[in-house]
Amino acid sequence: MSKIVKIEAFELFDSRAVPTVGVKVFTEKGGEGFAIVPSGASTGAFEAHELRDGGLRLGGKGVKKAVEHIRNLIAPALLHHDCRSGLETDKIMLELDGSENKERLGANSILGVSIAIAKAAASEQDMPLYKYLAGENKCVMPRPMMNILNGGAHASNNIDIQEFMVQPVCPASFAESMEICCEIYYALRDILKKKGLSTAVGDEGGFAPNLKGDEDALELISEAIIKAGYSTDKVKICLDAAASEWYLKDGIYRMPKRDKKYDGEELIALWEKLCEDYPIASIEDGIGENDFENFALLTKHLGGKIQLVGDDLFVTNEKRLQAGFLAGAANAILIKPNQIGTLSETLSVIKLAQENGYSAVISHRSGESEDTFIADLAVGVGAGQIKAGAPARSERVAKYNRLLMIEKEL
């Protein structure tokens, strides 16, 4: 037992100049934990509530209210509680909030405290965070899904698919994965340069050129894999369509940048065709968050061949994941702690997924910070996969650098 003795909260900024919550927790036995909460752009409708101030200051995005909630409500309720029982401290915050989706205190306030407590507990026991998170479980290094080309809500180019990533199939180590992905990133940059296309990057560090069509991105990435000296058997392409962003109404989707319309069936046919033509190993949110039926149909068609990840579909939420099991929708879940708002609920949904044969992919948000928490989380829960953006932009690379150092320790 070691008591929480002080909690400090700050309004800080994320990688898009958007205010965000930072929390410091101090414990009786000298532990100290610091967490910064990330934030999405293509946020799911069912995510826990991110509390923002509104008004004119900082475009309404200030988090002074969230910070005040930590200082005035959360800190007094948690002081003198055991920092090593995250389940209990999370429960106190959930009860204090009392709402279905954490709208009273804000999921950003609650998550910042929840993660900072875990870090403080690990630090006072002189334990690496991944080991603290693993408990009795075995630590496993993840394979990266490395973002190399950005579109959708993460870039101001004309590409509708939000994320194009590469993933080594059977790397010897995380360090080797990193080398492979970086070499492909350089190759793609060279190809774009030679074609006179932009090498400016989007929110997650991937290149964001204007292209004739989204297929061209797949063409260029396949070319980059080969140019870097790898085969498309050894390195696969992963996509995040973020199709909830495309949903219009009455079962119709519209890719906004190209102004192309699809119904659910046509969208499924598109993914099938792309999987025939390109070495695609994983598609995230190929169907929108409200469309369990078509997500299940997509899973029936492609689920035996590739990974189908539910991000906005599941929002790191146990109830929605259970609905996914029932419907037969997806075969993997994306894990973003700020979609649900506490560490204990995050750990519990990962366990539920793993016990039911769904893979868990640990993920950053498009608005990130220097906090490397998700790297330790991926190793501690043995998720096997992480997506943390491109090997460019320090808020992304920080996670990969942390993983490189963890691999040395293990």
Can you give the binding site for ligand PGA, defined by CB under 6 A?
40-43, 240, 242, 311, 334, 363, 365-366
- Report the alpha-carbon distance of residue 373 to residue 364 in Å, rounded: 10
148 makes contact, choosing from ligand PGA, Zn ion, none, with CB < 5 to 8 Å by partner type, with none
Q: Which two tokens stand for residue 81?
A: 């509680």
CB closer to ligand PGA out of 31 and 142: 142
CB of 188 to Zn ion, least distance (A): 21
Chain-centroid distance, C-alpha 210: 25
CB closer to Zn ion out of 7 and 221: 221
Q: Which two tokens stand for residue 242?
A: 């973020």
**Residues forming the active site:** 204, 336
Q: Does 204 bind Zn ion (CB under 5 A)?
A: no
Q: Which residue has the tokens 């392409």?
A: 237
96 makes contact, choosing from Zn ion, ligand PGA, none, with CB < 5 to 8 Å by partner type, with none
- Report the alpha-carbon distance of residue 366 to residue 76 in Å, rounded: 32
CB closer to Zn ion out of 240 and 291: 240
Nearby residues of 266 by Cβ (< 8 Å), 6 or more positions away: none
40 makes contact, choosing from ligand PGA, Zn ion, none, with CB < 5 to 8 Å by partner type, with ligand PGA
- Give the closest residue to 216 by CA, choosing from 149, 145, 267, 285: 149
Q: Of the listed pieces 1-9, 49-57, 307-315, 353-361, which binds Zn ion according to CB under 5 A?
A: 307-315
CB of 283 to ligand PGA, least distance (A): 12
CB of 341 to ligand PGA, least distance (A): 15
Element of type H or E holding 61: none
- CA distance readout (Å), 49 to 56, 95, 99, 224, 329: 20, 15, 10, 40, 25
- Report the alpha-carbon distance of residue 365 to residue 37 in Å, rounded: 10
- Report the alpha-carbon distance of residue 368 to residue 336 in Å, rounded: 12
Q: Which two tokens stand for residue 137?
A: 């479980």
- Give the closest residue to 24 by CA, choosing from 125, 129, 116, 119: 116
CB closer to ligand PGA out of 43 and 316: 43
Which of 14, 204, 240, 345 is close enough to bind Zn ion by CB under 5 A? 240
CB 104 within 8 A of CB 98: yes
CB of 147 to ligand PGA, least distance (A): 9
Q: What is the number of the residue whose Cβ is closest to ligand PGA?
A: 40
CB closer to Zn ion out of 122 and 161: 161
169 makes contact, choosing from ligand PGA, Zn ion, none, with CB < 5 to 8 Å by partner type, with none
Q: Of the listed pieces 26-34, 141-149, 220-228, 310-318, which binds Zn ion according to CB under 5 A?
A: 310-318
CB closer to ligand PGA out of 41 and 327: 41
CB of 311 to ligand PGA, least distance (A): 5
DSSP codes joined into one string, 297-366: HHHHHHTTTSEEEESTTTTT-HHHHHHHHHHT--SEEEE-HHHH--HHHHHHHHHHHHHTT-EEEEE--S
Q: Of the listed pieces 129-137, 210-218, 284-292, 399-407, which binds Zn ion according to CB under 5 A?
A: 284-292
317 makes contact, choosing from Zn ion, ligand PGA, none, with CB < 5 to 8 Å by partner type, with none
Contact footprint for Zn ion (CB under 5 A): 240, 284, 311
